[in-house]
Amino acid sequence: MKYLIVGLGNPGIEYENTRHNVGFRVLDKVAGELAATFELDRAAFVSYAKYKGRSLVLIKPITFMNLSGKAVNYWMQKEGVSIENVLVITDDLALPFGKLRMKGSGSDGGHNGLKDIQATLGTNAYSRLRFGVGSNFPKGRQSDYVLGKWEKEEELALPERLLTANSFVLSFCTAGLQLTMTTWNGK
């Protein structure tokens, strides 16, 4: 079976350690755990990995967050991955820092990357792993917050949360969506 795992973020060094790029960080962790490396290919940095008989295609779109759907659609078609085997990893302001929540579908929640994926694919019925970044920002400063760097305490806690996110991803590819949600949501 083949899976497309999409980490959302923005390309460029200026976005590297921002909250909005946590999807990229999760994929870096997954690739590291599976001894896989990323190479630039059409619309994304791409890595191929094997895990327990599954083929994983990891992508970090370089289309910028607001145009993520283009890369997701291209790689789904190129690799022949069905929507049931797509997992999108994104930052989420509605969850406290480090809280992880997997869902099988849902609204975009105001997230421009998810909004573009939904518009491009014509459905919101794809799995997503939401990584809480908190909402500790003054009214009207949401953009500055998600594009801002992690606080020192957050940066120190990030490795453990990335390891848990890695477990979510690998469970999704082996145990499936429902069992992964039952086992891992809330951890």
Tokens in use for 57?
């295609």
In this prediction, residue 142 carries a pLDDT of: 83
pTM here? 0.95
Instruction: Name the residues annotated as catalytic.
Output: 20
- Nearest-angstrom CA–CA distance, 94 and 114: 14
| pLDDT tops 90 at residue 108 | no
169-187 tens-digit pLDDT: 999 999 999 999 999 998 8
Q: Considering only CA atoms, which of 3, 6, 23, 27 is closest in space to residue 15?
A: 23
Q: Report the CATH fold assignment for 2-184.
A: Rossmann fold (3.40.50)
Report CA-CA distances (Å) from 106 to 23, 26, 56, 80, 123: 18, 21, 23, 23, 10
What residue ranges do the domains of the chain occupy?
2-184
